[in-house]
Amino acid sequence: MRCISQKRNPQQNKTNMSNTTNIIGLCIPKVNTSISSTFIKSKLSQCNFGTIKQYTELPWKNDPTQKRILIRVDWNQTLTHSTLWQEQLRQGNSLRIVYQFPNEWKIYLAKN
């Protein structure tokens, strides 16, 4: 399992993460509904972002085969790679998680 940062178009909106807490909202915008929440949580835990505090699945409006994942994570500030990933997200970039090669998820900061 690999977690990879990916640059985003600089024209897109950037989200400010100037919170005083380490809890950060993340979003995986598109996941197939056949993938279980247990599988998703286990793959995210393997990335060592931090502790998952809240996990929500929302169905896509026009496509019943897809869902959106919203996660609130108590971010782990002690690991070097974790801090680098957080900085990538602050700059408006996405992270890619390769969960079963060649399948991947893109993770963004949640909008709220």
CATH number assigned to the domain with residue range 2-10+20-109, chosen from the 4 options 3.30.70, 2.40.30, 3.30.450, 2.60.120: 3.30.70
Q: What is the mean pLDDT of residues 1-16?
A: 48
Each domain of the chain, given as residue ranges in start order, spans 2-10+20-109
What is residue 5's predicted lDDT score, i.e. its pLDDT?
A: 52
Tens of pLDDT, residue by residue over 20-70, are 468 899 999 999 999 999 999 999 988 888 899 999 999 998 899 999 999
Tens of pLDDT, residue by residue over 70-103, are 999 998 888 888 888 888 998 999 999 999 889 9
Contact partners, residue 49, CB within 8 Å, separation at least 6: 26, 73, 75, 76, 82, 85
